[in-house]
Amino acid sequence: MSSMVRIKVDDARLRKVLAGLSPQMNEKVRKQGARRALTPYLKTLRGLWRSASFSGKPTHRTAIARATRFDIRRKGSGALAPLQIRMGVQYGKKGGTLAKGRQRVWHLLENGFKHRSGTVVAGRRISTRFATTNIQKLGESIATETLAAAKSVLRL
């Protein structure tokens, strides 16, 4: 995951609802909302990699699609610390048994490279373009899903 796109979700209604929760429940609800919001975008990104047109067999593209994951972690100490959400291709064995290490060419397909002969192969920037074009919708989706998760917890 070489390039990074930052999203800051700042919604007054969401802040108000989350303030009424305990710190542990606050973190749980924020993570739950982010997971629900990111799942459709993850499926779309996987589909983009599966259907990308490159020469040769699609083994690397399908491995990249299978190894595409998102990771949600607390950035800092305490339950009220901001969350860091990373979406991208997981290298190594954590990429999954179906990827079998063939996802390790993602950085070459995404960012390009310079060949030994001196020719430059341009990168396709599939993941980067997807992230930058959907950043606004993704932030709104995270806020909406987190608010829905918080309201369902408060109704209990």
| pLDDT tens-digit map of 67-111 | 999 999 998 888 788 888 888 899 988 888 888 889 999 999 999
Rounded Cα–Cα distance for residues 98 and 90 (Å): 12
Identify the band that residue 117 occupies on the pLDDT scale cut at 50, 70 and 90: very high
Q: What is the pLDDT of residue 142?
A: 92
Rounded Cα–Cα distance for residues 41 and 53 (Å): 20
Q: What is the pLDDT of residue 8?
A: 72
What are the start-end ranges of the H helices in the chain? 12-19, 23-50, 59-66, 106-111, 126-133, 135-155
Q: What is the pLDDT of residue 1?
A: 42
User: What percentage of the chain has pLDDT greater than the value 70?
Assistant: 96
How crowded is residue 50: how many other Cβ atoms within 10 Å of its Cβ?
A: 14
Residue pointed to by tokens 């998760």:
149
> What is the C-alpha radius of gyration for the chain, rounded to an integer number of angstroms?
18
| pLDDT tens-digit map of 14-69 | 888 888 888 899 999 999 999 999 999 999 999 999 999 988 889 999 999 999 99
